[in-house]
Structure 1
Amino acid sequence: MVRASSAKLWWNFRRVYSLWGSFMTAKYCSRVHPVAKLVQSSDSHTWKRMLSIRNEVEAVLGWRLTHGDVNLWWDNWSGLGTLGRLYPFPGVEYSGDLLSDFIQNGELDLSPYDDLLPPGLEADMSRLGQRVADIPIWRVATDGFFSFSSAKSLLRPEPVYSDPLLSACWHKHLPFKVSFLAWRVLRGRLPTDDAMARFGHLIVSRCWCCNNPVRETIDHIFYAGDTARAVWGFFMGSLGLRFSHRGLRTLLTGWKRVVSHNRLVAFIICRLPYLILWELWKQRNTCLHSRGSPSVPRVVYGVAKGVAECLFRRWPQEHILPPNWPVILSYIDSTVPRRVVRAVRWDPPPDGSIKLNFSYSEALGGAAALVRNRGGGLCYGLAISADDGFRDFFQVMHRSLEWCLAEGFRSLVLESVLPELKGYVDPTTPSPWVFDSDVSRLRFLCSCASVFVLQCLPQGNLPVAALADWVGDKDGDFIFSNLSDLPPRVRALLVHDDIPSVVFDDYDPP
């Protein structure tokens, strides 16, 4: 979090023209560009924090050129990084060369530095001449804007070993105190007698959860003790769970592997072990500090109450249950999901409209579009081998829309299985910065007609999906104006597209 906060300071310092930014620039970077500035022992603590994170932030900070008033050597305008570090000729740290000084008639001319810079260095200058300052781009996020979550993901070091049980402790609708206690149990971070002994404290150890005096350990409290064994056995027996386990970790691993098609049973099973750990810890503290006696029914009641509260948090209007485990168990057993059969087919567009179906095959590398009228007849087809990745999918959409507009169609229905398509068309939705020019072109074409966007199931988009798979191992692009030109499989799917596909959905009654 501290490193992410430092990254935000550097981001604001580089992107926001503020009084604070002007002050920091005048104090520390009056002669040297901020990216080339070296840390000094007399610098303030805040400035040292910003410099400590500078290189990592600059690696993902790009620029969208509108004026070209970025430093030629120290701003990452080309995507290659800071050229001043790649080509450190003498005195480059004091260079104030701006990129706009090397733009002639809308083209980049770097002939004065032919001996220093690599040939073919390019920049996106399609937006030059706009009345806004050059825009910094946070390349880690799809929208290009800084966020703490993306900064933490960037700066957090990858763990050498990721314990799957630790990540399984955190569940939505489960109280944080319960998840945090489970995390402490698995990490051995509890003030039990065995943990205190590791710090050199001599303690006469006794487990207060058992009638027989036994040494208190974390494993004994939560797994091997009399109360723990009785509680685990009760809940496993009531749910019909049977798997071998030799310790607490193997027990929790067995719970993780339990699968149920009933949404209530699956919801309860993944949270129940951690509620049991919480109630066992409460039982231990009650016996230790309040001199209470061990009670398995009290633990069972607490677990049932926690389960009822979790169900209420998830479905506040549906499952309001008492803290009684037999009642909860009988209720979830009676809530059996039933299977619903639906017929999915290609739906024709309204009168006076034309429908465009799109598909992108990420596995085979193909993008395709089919334009069809209300009767289902083929008007136009396009398939491109996606050598440029997802950008070829935008090219398919652009060319299909251009064909429709050239033919005089002004009422269009766009359909695809991709949920992102509606956001690409909607001008109020931020677009991923990497596809900014493609999305802008798509929105311009859609503004020339009345466009309605639909998302369909894969079964309703089979012909165009088969066309995208077919073109995956081909080279170039293919245009289809007649039904006979299509590949045999695509033609067969298109002809029989009025036959519905059967889709099975599991419906859970409230």
Structure 2
Amino acid sequence: MVRAASEKLWWTFRTEHTLWTDFMRAKYCSRVHPVAKLVRTSDSHTWKRMLAVRDEAERAMGWRLFQGRVNFWWDNWSGLGPLGRLYPFPGVSYSRAPLLDFVTDGVLDLFDHPDLALAGLQVDLSRLGQGPRDIPVWRPASDGMFSFATAKSFLRPARLVDPDPFLARCWHKHLPFKVSFLAWRVFWGRLPMDDVISRFGHVVVSRCWCCPAPAFDSIAHIFYSGDTARAVWHHVFASLGLQSRHRSLRTLIASWGRSGTHNPLRSFVLCRLPYLVLWELWKHRNGCLHSRDTPSVARVMFGVARGVVECLYRRWPGQHILPPNWRMIVSYLEAHVPRRVIRSVRWSPPSSGSLKLNLALSASEGGAAALVRNQGGGLCYGVSWSRQGETIRGLFRVLFSCLTWCLDGGHRVLVVETSVRDLEAYFDASATTPWYMDDVVSRLHFLCSCGTINFMLCSPRANLPTQALADWALDTPGETAFVTFADLPPRVRALLIHDDVPYVSFDFADPP
């Protein structure tokens, strides 16, 4: 977190013009570029912190070129890092030459630097002169904006071992953080119990206050083997009709999720219930120890029932309003049997005077296809594209090809339908899209402004002809256009003919 905060300071220093950043530039970088500045013992602590993460931060920074006034040698405009370190020419540390000095007729001119020309520098200069200034980009974030979360994930070292899946099950959505954190501490043995304290060499006279019979105060006793814990676990198992063989708390929790059920509401409660029991047992133990409460299984079960009700309210605020009564909750779960809903899935034709454009990606990476059809389901135009490593851009390529064909033909009312959910954000002008897709997004919004284009999501079973064409494109690299029905592959033609036959899908819904 300290290094992420230092990166935030460096990002602010490099991208903003405030009183603090102007002061730091005047004090430390009056003659030398900040990336080329060397650390000195007389520097301030804040400046040393910033220089400690400078190389990593500069590697994660990029630039959208609009004016070309970034430093040619020290700003990471090429993606290779500072060129002044890769090719240390004489006097380059003090160079303030902008990138614009190396551009001739809109093309990067490296005639005086053959070493750089052989390095294969590639830069997009198509936007030069189209903006007021060059914009910094934070590459770890999809939107290009710096955030503390992306900085921490960028700096966080890779795990050498996989995390324990048993501990990962402690964290559930709609479960309070304090409950999940306590369960994590229980399984790690990080609680101030007498058995833990005794491991540090302290002599402890131990006694459990939450059970009628005095016993040693330990994690296993409080949460599993004590009289109160055994009574609570037995009551929960008996009321829910669960059976499990366990010899410790860990085996009890591990075998808890093996009881499968087709009731989504019951599954929701069961996967969170053991951690609520652990939390209430911990509260019961502290109440008996510090508040002199008497041991009570009923009080623990009341807390468990209240925790279940609160979880249900967080998940469904307007449904499943229940009192904190464990018997009523169990009866409600047993009576709540979802009904099976049968739906027909098929391709729906567009309205009169409009066309429908279906998009699909291949099952394997690299293929994309699009089909334009009229109200009768007939083929108007189709495109397939395949190239390894261009999945999303290939999808936009076929989309732009079909949109251009429709607009050139005078068709201004279109419906774009696909099962690719990630495509929805690109049609929404208010949504944040990845910075490296700016050229695609700007072209898409321009084409959408030329007509009335509506976006729809559909089931993959309602888009089978386009899906089959995308799979076929994997064997035919490049772009292929289809103007007539006979040009399509045989499997795609067969699916188009039988596209009016609905498919049946089964789903579950809450009872009325």
Q: What is the TM-score with the length of structure 2 in the denominator?
A: 0.95
Change (3 A) 1:309 1:425: closer
Shift of 1:20: 2.1
Q: Distance in 2 between the 1:119 and 1:86 partners?
A: 10
- Note the 1:305-344 alignment, pairs <5 A: 305-344=306-345
Q: Distance in 1 between the 2:253 and 2:29 partners?
A: 56
Taking every aligned residue pair, what percent have the same amino acid on both sides? 61
Shift of 1:382: 0.6
Given that 1:87 and 1:117 are in contact with CA atoms closer than 8 Å, whether structure 2 keeps it comes out as no
The equivalent of 2:286 in structure 1 is 285
Residue identity matched to 1:260: T
Shift of 1:362: 5.1
The equivalent of 1:410 in structure 2 is 412
Given that 2:174 and 2:315 are in contact with CA atoms closer than 8 Å, whether structure 1 keeps it comes out as yes
The equivalent of 1:55 in structure 2 is 55
Given that 2:355 and 2:372 are in contact with CA atoms closer than 8 Å, whether structure 1 keeps it comes out as yes
Given that 1:483 and 1:491 are in contact with CA atoms closer than 8 Å, whether structure 2 keeps it comes out as yes
Shift of 1:367: 0.5
Shift of 1:90: 4.4
Q: Distance in 2 between the 1:251 and 1:193 partners?
A: 23
Task: Answer yes or no: is 1:453 the counterpart of 2:455.
Answer: yes
- Three-state SS of the structure 1 residue aligned to 2:384 is strand
Residue identity matched to 2:28: Y
Residue identity matched to 1:400: C
Q: Distance in 2 between the 1:259 and 1:121 partners?
A: 57
Given that 2:379 and 2:484 are in contact with CA atoms closer than 8 Å, whether structure 1 keeps it comes out as yes
Task: Answer yes or no: is 1:490 the counterpart of 2:488.
Answer: no
The equivalent of 2:383 in structure 1 is 382
Q: Distance in 2 between the 1:393 and 1:358 partners?
A: 7
Q: Distance in 1 between the 2:240 and 2:508 partners?
A: 22
Given that 2:368 and 2:391 are in contact with CA atoms closer than 8 Å, whether structure 1 keeps it comes out as no
The equivalent of 2:205 in structure 1 is 204
Residue identity matched to 2:266: V
Task: Answer yes or no: is 1:505 the counterpart of 2:507.
Answer: yes
- Three-state SS of the structure 2 residue aligned to 1:299 is helix
Q: Distance in 1 between the 2:213 and 2:447 partners?
A: 80
- Three-state SS of the structure 1 residue aligned to 2:125 is coil
Given that 1:193 and 1:216 are in contact with CA atoms closer than 8 Å, whether structure 2 keeps it comes out as yes
The equivalent of 2:250 in structure 1 is 249
Q: Distance in 2 between the 1:422 and 1:282 partners?
A: 47
The equivalent of 1:102 in structure 2 is 102
Given that 1:368 and 1:382 are in contact with CA atoms closer than 8 Å, whether structure 2 keeps it comes out as yes
Shift of 1:439: 1.6
Change (3 A) 1:245 1:159: farther
Shift of 1:31: 1.9
The equivalent of 2:39 in structure 1 is 39
Given that 1:304 and 1:325 are in contact with CA atoms closer than 8 Å, whether structure 2 keeps it comes out as yes
Given that 1:265 and 1:332 are in contact with CA atoms closer than 8 Å, whether structure 2 keeps it comes out as yes
- Three-state SS of the structure 2 residue aligned to 1:423 is helix
Q: Distance in 2 between the 1:116 and 1:357 partners?
A: 45
Change (3 A) 1:364 1:175: closer
Shift of 1:97: 2.1
Shift of 1:117: 5.1
Shift of 1:364: 4.5
CA offsets per residue over residues 263-304 of structure 1, 9 Å max, x none? 221221121111111111122122222333322222112211
- Three-state SS of the structure 1 residue aligned to 2:443 is helix
Given that 2:66 and 2:133 are in contact with CA atoms closer than 8 Å, whether structure 1 keeps it comes out as yes
The equivalent of 1:436 in structure 2 is 438
CA offsets per residue over residues 224-262 of structure 1, 9 Å max, x none? 222212211221222222233332222222224444332
Residue identity matched to 2:357: L
Q: What is the TM-score with the length of structure 1 in the denominator?
A: 0.95
Given that 1:467 and 1:490 are in contact with CA atoms closer than 8 Å, whether structure 2 keeps it comes out as yes
Task: Answer yes or no: is 1:131 the counterpart of 2:152.
Answer: no
Given that 1:386 and 1:393 are in contact with CA atoms closer than 8 Å, whether structure 2 keeps it comes out as no
- Note the 1:50-449 alignment, pairs <5 A: 50-116=50-116, 118-161=118-161, 162-361=163-362, 363-387=364-388, 388-449=390-451
Change (3 A) 1:406 1:502: same
Given that 2:302 and 2:324 are in contact with CA atoms closer than 8 Å, whether structure 1 keeps it comes out as yes
Given that 2:469 and 2:492 are in contact with CA atoms closer than 8 Å, whether structure 1 keeps it comes out as yes
CA offsets per residue over residues 179-237 of structure 1, 9 Å max, x none? 22222212222111012112332111222233443322112211122221221122122
Given that 2:111 and 2:117 are in contact with CA atoms closer than 8 Å, whether structure 1 keeps it comes out as no
Q: Distance in 1 between the 2:339 and 2:374 partners?
A: 37
CA offsets per residue over residues 60-80 of structure 1, 9 Å max, x none? 211110011111122111122
Change (3 A) 1:261 1:16: farther
Change (3 A) 1:316 1:119: closer
Change (3 A) 1:6 1:256: farther
Q: Distance in 1 between the 2:34 and 2:259 partners?
A: 55
- Three-state SS of the structure 2 residue aligned to 1:177 is helix
Q: Distance in 1 between the 2:488 and 2:192 partners?
A: 72
Given that 2:183 and 2:279 are in contact with CA atoms closer than 8 Å, whether structure 1 keeps it comes out as yes
Shift of 1:376: 0.8
Given that 2:363 and 2:471 are in contact with CA atoms closer than 8 Å, whether structure 1 keeps it comes out as no
Given that 1:364 and 1:469 are in contact with CA atoms closer than 8 Å, whether structure 2 keeps it comes out as no
Shift of 1:343: 0.9
The 10-residue stretch of structure 1 (103-112 or 245-254) with the greater mean CA deviation from structure 2:
245-254
The 10-residue stretch of structure 1 (46-55 or 391-400) with the greater mean CA deviation from structure 2:
46-55
Change (3 A) 1:21 1:471: same
- Three-state SS of the structure 1 residue aligned to 2:467 is helix
- Considering only aligned residues, what root-mean-square deviation do their CA atoms show, in Å? 1.8
Residue identity matched to 1:37: K
Residue identity matched to 1:128: L
The 10-residue stretch of structure 1 (414-423 or 461-470) with the greater mean CA deviation from structure 2:
414-423
Given that 2:360 and 2:369 are in contact with CA atoms closer than 8 Å, whether structure 1 keeps it comes out as yes
- Three-state SS of the structure 2 residue aligned to 1:112 is coil
CA offsets per residue over residues 94-147 of structure 1, 9 Å max, x none? 222211100011000011111355343110111100232101111111111112
Q: Distance in 2 between the 1:21 and 1:79 partners?
A: 25
